[in-house]
Chain A
């Protein structure tokens, strides 16, 4: 087996950077590669990889943070549910501090709401089991990596008769926004680093439309420093060679067809629906809602008062998510919008492009 240390080996990183430098000199112009997974954003920032790449290669972050692209309407509904006396909200930690129109779930908790952070949707089922008199609402956010876990938890609740476990689905799927970006003339991306763990579920095939329909090089890559750099190297090589292919560089966990068991569980529990992506707008069929037969577990059916959703003034999360601007180009960045007082979701989530940039890329006195 290969260890985390081996995958982060500085000598291997140096060697890969050497290859990247060599190939970059043969690029006709400066190129832009986009990764579309919040975990990629953070991994790249934490290792400081962006600054190690040659100037001809620009690495940007797309709409890969499920928290960042969650519309305010979903957050408002979650916050309103939290305020109900009979409801226990279970959520991944990622959502805890995202602001809705009336403050975050953390703030709701401070005002007396029962909000609990869980690591696994199964833990939320356990909460429901232990408190049959409460209505337990699990906030289902996340892409294809996470949806099967929520589906499995829901089916486990069905099997065991845990009737008080509900899901508020904010799940979204990846190909939709990638298609929108690849087809958007304003967005100039020369290659995509596709999300490695989404691909474990969907299969690498799910992203072959990028080279096949749009002629854009794409790779499926893992999250360690060497995985990311191998991805950058492969994309650069494709450009120099004039190829446009989908290369699976994460074969140790990704297959062309993906996890069929997981796909089947999702198909049993969820159905495609239209969804709004914060910053990108509505993308048909890019969301998931609970199937009709699970209506009793759909928290969206619970009556709660909702405010009119407002997008905050001056916020340019949308343009950041499309890769049109860097976080530093947004007038609110590091001024009105900081991790302590976030305006848009890009700053709240630690993986949001703006938060990651703020934490890792702002460099007072950092070495060049």
Chain B
């Protein structure tokens, strides 16, 4: 019961903001992540941001996956 999608927070006001992924937009509540700023990536579940996505960790994961992909190309 964890369907949550990372979306980019475009704009925000006090308690909610507009989040976007692939051009699709929805109003999301920021009551659970009040510190999120416009431009942050947030994880959205049931119309609420429940956390922010850490850019550095995301890059680390990307690097790990690239390594794994390279391994798969070895004979």
Contact = CB atoms under 8 A, between A and B. Distances in A.
Q: Are A and B interaction partners?
A: yes
Given A15-B68, A197-B43, A265-B32, A94 B2 contact: no
A23 interface: no
Contacts of A251: 54, 57, 60-61
A39 B3 CA distance: 6
Given A37-B2, A120-B48, A252 B54 contact: yes
Q: Which of A38, A40, A64, A145 has the most CB of B within 10 A?
A: A145
Interface string B23-42: 00000010111100000010
A254 B50 CA distance: 11
Interface of A: 1-2, 6-7, 9, 11-12, 14-16, 18-19, 37-40, 64-67, 92, 94, 119-123, 141-143, 145-146, 148-149, 152, 155-156, 195-198, 200-201, 223, 226, 230, 251-254, 259, 261-262, 265, 351
Given A197-B4, A200-B4, A226-B68, 11 more contacts: A1-B53, A6-B65, A14-B72, A38-B1, A145-B50, A155-B31, A197-B2, A200-B43, A200-B50, A251-B60, A251-B61
B47 A146 contact: no
B1 A259 contact: no
B58 A11 contact: no
B53 A152 contact: no
Contacts of B58: 1-2, 252
9 smallest CB-CB distances across A and B, nearest first, come from A120-B47, A15-B68, A197-B2, A14-B72, A11-B69, A15-B72, A252-B57, A15-B71, A12-B65
A11 B29 CA distance: 37
Contact of B65 (A40, A65, A156, A226): A226
Contacts of A2: 58-59, 61-62
Given A1-B55, A15-B70, A146-B45, A7 B65 contact: yes
Contacts, number: 140
Interface residues of B, number: 39
B54 A253 contact: yes
B13 interface: no
Contacts of B61: 2, 7, 251-252
Nearest to B47: A120
A188 to B, nearest CB: 25
A9 B31 contact: no
Given A94-B1, A152-B32, A265-B32, A18 B72 contact: yes
B8 to A, nearest CB: 8
Contacts of A198: 2
A11 B65 CA distance: 9
B35 to A, nearest CB: 8
A5 B60 CA distance: 16
Given A12-B68, A253-B53, A261 B32 contact: yes
B69 to A, nearest CB: 4
Given A6-B62, A226-B68, A253 B47 contact: no
Contact of A9 (B4, B33, B57, B69): B69
A38 B4 CA distance: 13
A88 to B, nearest CB: 18
A94 to B, nearest CB: 7
Given A143-B1, A198-B2, A156 B31 contact: yes
B47 A123 contact: yes
Contact of B1 (A12, A123, A146, A156): A146
A259 B32 contact: yes
A198 B45 CA distance: 11
A122 B47 contact: yes
B47 A119 contact: yes
Contacts of B14: none
Given A1-B41, A1-B58, A252-B61, A66 B73 contact: no
Contacts of A155: 31
B32 A12 contact: no
Contacts of B71: 15, 18-19
